[in-house]
Amino acid sequence: MVNIWDAAIISSIVFIPVSLFLTFNFSAIYNYLKNQNLNNYAGFLYIFEATGAITIGIIFTLFLSGEMSTLITLYWIGIINIAAVYIIFREKDIQGEIIQVILSFILILYLVPLFTNFLEKIDKESEIVNYSKYDVLKNKELKTGKVIITGFNDIKSIFFNGNLHYVIDDLKYKEITGWAILSSNRNENVLLINAGYAGCLKELKKYKSIKSIDYIENDNEEAKFIENYFGKPNYDNVNYYYGDAIYYLSKNKINKKFDVVILNADYPSTLFSARYFTREFFNLLKNYIADDGLLIFSIRAGENFIDKKIYPVLVSVYKAAEKNFKNINLVPGDNLYFLCSNKDINLKPELVLQKLKKENVENPLFNKKYVEYMLEKEKIQNIKTKLQANYRTNNVFAPFACFYSIRSDLFMFKNSQNILKVLFLLLLFVILLKYIFNPDEFKINKRNYIAMFLISFVGIMLEILAIFIFQNIYGYFYQLIGILFAVFMFGIIAGCLISYIKNFRLNFIISLNVLIIFSFIVYLLSFIKDIYQINFFVIVFIIIYAGVLTGSSYNFLIKKTDASFLYGIDMLGGAAGSFFVSILILPVAGVIFSLLLCSIILILVLFLNV
pLDDT in tens, 312-334: 999 999 999 999 999 999 999 88
Domain match, 433 and 356 both = no
Q: What does the mean pLDDT of the chain come to?
A: 86
User: Does residue 299 fall inside a structural domain?
Assistant: yes
pLDDT per residue as tens digits for the range 333-374? 889 999 999 999 989 999 999 999 999 888 889 999 999 999
> pLDDT class for 460, splitting at 50, 70, 90?
very high
CA 146 to chain centre: 16
Looking at the structure, tell me whether residues 533 and 567 fall in a common domain: yes
Domain end point (choices 141, 165, 189): 165
Structure letter (DSSP) for residue 392: P
- Using the CB atoms, write b or e for 343-362: b if 16+ within 10 Å: eebbbeeeebbebbeebebe
pLDDT at 478: 61
CA distance 310 to 408: 10
Pick 521 or 306 by higher pLDDT.
521
Listed range (364-373, 406-415, 518-527) with the worst mean pLDDT:
406-415
pLDDT at 500: 82
**Quick one: what percent of the chain has pLDDT higher than 90?**
51
What's the pLDDT at 323? 96
Q: What is the mean pLDDT of residues 476-493?
A: 83
Q: Is the distance from CB of 323 to CB of 282 less than 8 angstroms?
A: yes
Q: What is the dihedral of CA 525, 526, 532, 538, to 10 degrees?
A: -90
Domain annotation covers residue 401 = no
Among residues 584, 604, 594, the alpha carbon closest in space to that of 463 is found at 594
Are 269 and 234 in contact by the 8 Å Cβ rule? The answer is no
User: Cα separation of 322 and 327, whole Å?
Assistant: 8
What's the one-letter identity of residue 331? V
- Which of 110, 144, 165 is the last residue before a domain boundary? 165
Q: pLDDT tens digit string along 214-255? A: 999 998 889 999 999 998 888 889 999 999 999 999 988 778
Residue 406, in any domain of the structure: no
Which range, of 155-159, 315-319, 585-589, averages the lowest pLDDT? 585-589
- Is 208 a domain residue? yes
- Same domain? For 305 and 433 the reply is no
Q: Provide the domain limits for residue 361.
A: 169-394
Q: Please state the pTM of the whole predicted model.
A: 0.87
Q: What is the DSSP string of 231-272?
A: -----TTEEEEES-HHHHHHHS-----EEEEEE----S-SHH
Q: Which pLDDT value is given to residue 410?
A: 63
Residues 186 and 259: their CA atoms lie apart, in Å, by 6
Residue 79 has a pLDDT of 76
What is the Cα–Cα distance from 554 to 547, expressed in whole angstroms? 11
Q: How confident is the model at residue 582 (pLDDT cuts 50, 70, 90)?
A: confident
3-state secondary structure 373-389: HHCCHHHHHHHHHHCCC
Go through 173-207 and write b for each residue having 16 or more CB atoms within 10 A of its CB, e for each that does not. Answer: bbbbbbbbbbbbbebebbbbbbbbbbbbbbbbebb
Domain membership of residue 580 (yes or no) is yes
DSSP per-residue string spanning 496-529: HHHHHHS---HHHHHHHHHHHHHHHHHHHHHTTT
Statement to judge: residues 442 and 475 lie in one domain: yes
With a cut of 60, say whether residue 511 has pLDDT above it: yes
Predicted pLDDT of residue 223: 92
Assess contact for 258 and 288: CB atoms under 8 A: yes
Determine the Cα angle at 194 with ends 588 and 373, to 5°. 85
Length of the chain (residues): 610
Whether 405 maps to a domain, the answer reads: no
**Whether residue 282 sits in one domain with residue 220:** yes
Residue 75 has pLDDT above 80, yes or no: no
CATH value at residue 24:
1.20.1250
Q: Which residues of 544-575 are buried (b: 16+ CB within 10 A; e: fewer)?
A: bbbbbbbbbbbbbbbeebbbbbbbbbbbbbbb
Which residues on adjacent β-strands are paired with residue 410? none
Asked if residue 265 lies in contact with residue 246, where contact means CB atoms within 8 angstroms, the answer is no
Number of domains composing the chain: 4
Residues 99 and 222 in one domain: no
Q: Are both 62 and 78 inside the same structural domain?
A: no
> Which pLDDT belongs to residue 502?
80
How far from 512 is each of 302, 464, 545, 602, 610, CA to CA, in Å?
A: 52, 20, 10, 10, 16
In sequence order, the 6+-apart residues with CB closer than 8 A to the CB of 181 are 187, 204, 207, 209, 210, 260, 355, 359
Containing 140, the helix (H) or strand (E) segment is strand 135-142
Pair 459, 577: CB distance under 8 Å = yes
Residue 224 burial by Cβ neighbours in a 10 Å radius (0-12, 13-18, 19+): middle
Residue 141 near residue 67 (C-beta atoms within 8 A):
yes
Would you state the pLDDT for residue 381?
A: 93
Give the pLDDT score at 73.
Answer: 75
593 pLDDT higher than 90: yes
Domain match, 159 and 299 both? no
- Cα–Cα dist 476/267, whole Å: 17
Q: Check whether residue 17 and residue 55 sit in a common domain.
A: yes
Q: 432 and 389: one domain?
A: no
DSSP 69: -
| Average pLDDT value for residue range 393-410 | 86
Task: Mark whether 137 and 24 lie in a shared domain.
Answer: no
* pLDDT above 70: residue 397: yes
Closest CA to 307 of 404, 395, 410: 404
Strand order in the sheet with 189-193: 238-242, 212-217, 189-193, 258-263, 289-300, 335-341, 327-331
Q: How far is CA 293 from the centre of its chain?
A: 31
Given a contact cutoff of 8 angstroms between Cβ atoms, the answer to whether 457 and 577 are in contact is: yes
Arithmetic mean of pLDDT, 554-579: 88
Q: What is the pLDDT of residue 467?
A: 92
Element housing 156 (H / E): strand 155-160
Res 414 pLDDT > 60 = no
Determine the Cα–Cα distance for residues 479 and 61; give it in Å rounded to an integer: 6
- Local structure of 403: helix, strand or coil: helix
**Confidence at 435, pLDDT banded by 50, 70, 90:** low
| Same domain flag for 279 and 181 | yes
Lowest mean pLDDT among 122-131, 151-160, 225-234, 505-514: 122-131
Q: What is the mean pLDDT of residues 428-449?
A: 73
Looking at the predicted structure, is the pLDDT value of residue 104 above 90? no
Q: What residue type is 285 in one-letter code?
A: L
Contact 553, 452 (CB under 8 A): yes
State how far the Cα of 65 lies from the Cα of 57, in Å rounded to an integer.
Answer: 10
CATH of the domain at 335: 3.40.50.150
Q: What is the pLDDT of residue 91?
A: 62
**Does a structural domain hold residue 515?**
yes
Q: Which pLDDT score is estimated for 425? A: 65
Query: Cα–Cα distance between 88 and 496 in angstroms, integer?
Result: 24
Distance of CA 496 to the CA centre of its chain: 30
Backbone angles phi, psi at 602, to 5 degrees: -65, -35
Report the pLDDT averaged over residues 97-105.
75
Q: Is residue 407 part of a domain?
A: no
- For residue 524, pLDDT over 60 is answered with yes
Q: Which of 80, 106, 130 is at the close of a domain?
A: 130
pLDDT at 598 over 80: yes
| Pick from 42, 382, 334: nearest CA to 175 | 334
Which has more pLDDT, 89 or 386? 386
pLDDT at 238: 95
Residue 286 neighbours by CB under 8 Å, 6+ apart: 295, 324, 325, 342
Q: What is the pLDDT of residue 30?
A: 76
pLDDT over 70 (residue 309)? yes
